[in-house]
Amino acid sequence: MTRVPVPLQRSTISRMASTSYLIGFSCLLVLIQALVPAHAAVHSVFTHKNASSSLGQLVTSSTLVWESYDPKDATQLQFAVEGGKYVTEDEHYPIYVCRVPIDGFQVSGHTEKILQRHVCVAAHYKHGKYDNFDVLMNKGHLGKVGWRHWRKFDAGVPVGAIRIGDDSYIGRHRASHEPNKDGIVTHWGADFNLGHLEPEGLGKIRVIENEREKYYVDGEVLVETEPFRYELKDIKLDRLRTERRENLTELATRRLENLGDKYSTVETVLSYTFDYKQNWGNHEGVARGLPTKIFEKDVSVPAEINWGLKHAEKRSENKAVHTKLWPGTAINVTLRGNYVTLEAPYSGKLFAFYYGSDESVSRKISAEVSKSYLKDVKLEFSPVYWIENGTLVPTTTTTTTTSTSTTTHATTTSTNEPTPIHEPPLVHMKDQGVQHSGPDTLEKTLHDSPSSNEVNSHDAPENMSSNPGKDVALAGFGVNAAGSIAAAGTAFMALFLSVLLSL
């Protein structure tokens, strides 16, 4: 008996299509998650601020963070703070400052490589090697981070020491190596053992050496030196992404009137204020609130702001206005101006200055600037009118007269109509005092700016010391380059959603 195929019902076809659709959607989500890396967890770093206090004051660092280690991110450790070098017969690579929680407490340590991964070697009596840990990062920062020599006779904890535990700070001591049978000391392994500075009493540095805890009365402490001020120079806007909004604003109005009995000059002063605002944005690793001088194009005196905070000030101007009027007449004068708000991405060079050093550290940054200012202040005035009744003074009529003659004298009489003005009065305006309004310097910069100002975020800072012998050596700063992968994943997501919506 031959079976006749039964046509599928429409509901069955719909269920099959929905199932295939969900399977495809799930596969695409897995692919998207593979393309877009997850962001590593970031935690604050605390530093010792006040050395004159027995307890000290802890503040949150504006330039350092703890970041969870991601073995899939090949570029992550390029911005990690170095703790020393690891040397073997076949390898020579930097080790980085790390931390790992053990028994509920954060323990510092240093990284070591195992194949293509890194592990954290904890400065703990268990002396384990951990796969899950945090790395001390200095991304794109203008803070100096380095190792400062310490001994027990120093006065307490160094200012800027980086806290690791309840009352301990990151320290290290140079590793000791025993001579071989020929009496030659061969350096193998980490050149420094990382541990803690424990400030109790005169203080001591505790490290793990040869699988045992050891205490030293001297060593080095990791400190952060923050700048005390910035300077921003070489500012260039991105013309293609600049937005500018203008709002015509009435600033002041006044009446000029002639209450005398003869044709004369009348004058007045119009005063007004406006808000001048500027905000130069934020950048990773730049401390908010620090005094900053902004060197814009063609400006002799730089603006002074606090970095990352909106700067606003009231600016005042006075305009003197005068004209000539006939007796009993008046004219209204009004000042208007364009209040402009300009927003644009920009690139520039930020210089950081430190106490005790004549040198500055600089690097290119990119952020967004916003400015509000007043320009194009112009005078508007009404027709001349009579004060008594508010009617306009005629400008084209002539006086009507009548004349009578006799043999002895001649007389001329006039009507009671006012004398006409054949031309409107000229109203003059001039500045009194300092003029604050006008085109902003950023508008001038637009003419010289390239169409795009993409900044290479991996450019190393300038004037960066690489001498390990200095008390405070600089650690690297930049931003994570994995953003390009995330951008590719985002683009793929947008393409997938557009195809999905078209179905």
Model confidence pLDDT, tens digit, residues 56-65: 567 777 778 8
* CB-CB contact of 352 with 306 (8 Å): no
Name which of 44-48, 263-267, 280-284 the model is least confident about.
44-48
Give the pLDDT confidence score for residue 448 in this predicted structure.
64
Give the pLDDT confidence score for residue 262 in this predicted structure.
93
Q: pLDDT-derived band of residue 73, with 50, 70 and 90 as boundaries?
A: confident
What is the Cα–Cα distance from 52 to 499, expressed in whole angstroms? 65
Nearest to 352 by CA among 62, 7, 98: 62
What is the Cα–Cα distance from 172 to 220, expressed in whole angstroms? 5
Residue 20, Cβ density class (10 Å: 0-12 exposed, 13-18 middle, ≥19 buried) = exposed
Q: pLDDT-derived band of residue 274, with 50, 70 and 90 as boundaries?
A: very high
Q: What distance, in Å, lies between the first and last C-alpha atoms of the chain?
A: 42
Give the chain's count of helices (H) and strands (E).
3, 27
Highest mean pLDDT among 40-44, 235-239, 370-374, 465-469: 370-374
Give the pLDDT confidence score for residue 442 in this predicted structure.
86
Give the pLDDT confidence score for residue 293 in this predicted structure.
96
- DSSP-derived letter for residue 456 is -
Does the pLDDT at position 400 exceed 80? no
* CB-CB contact of 284 with 380 (8 Å): no
Model confidence pLDDT, tens digit, residues 129-138: 899 999 998 8
H/E stretch holding 46 reads strand 42-48
In the numeric block, the tokens 């805890």 are attached to 213
Q: Which residue has the higher pLDDT, 210 or 22?
A: 210
Does the pLDDT at position 53 exceed 70? no
Does the pLDDT at position 362 exceed 90? no
- What CATH topology corresponds to 229-450? Proaerolysin; Chain A, domain 3 (2.170.15)
Residue 331, Cβ density class (10 Å: 0-12 exposed, 13-18 middle, ≥19 buried) = buried
Give the pLDDT confidence score for residue 141 in this predicted structure.
58
Query: How high is the mean pLDDT of the chain?
Result: 76
Model confidence pLDDT, tens digit, residues 424-474: 678 899 999 899 999 888 887 776 665 544 444 445 565 544 333 344 434
H/E stretch holding 492 reads helix 483-502
Residue 346, Cβ density class (10 Å: 0-12 exposed, 13-18 middle, ≥19 buried) = buried
Domain boundaries, the chain: 42-225, 229-450
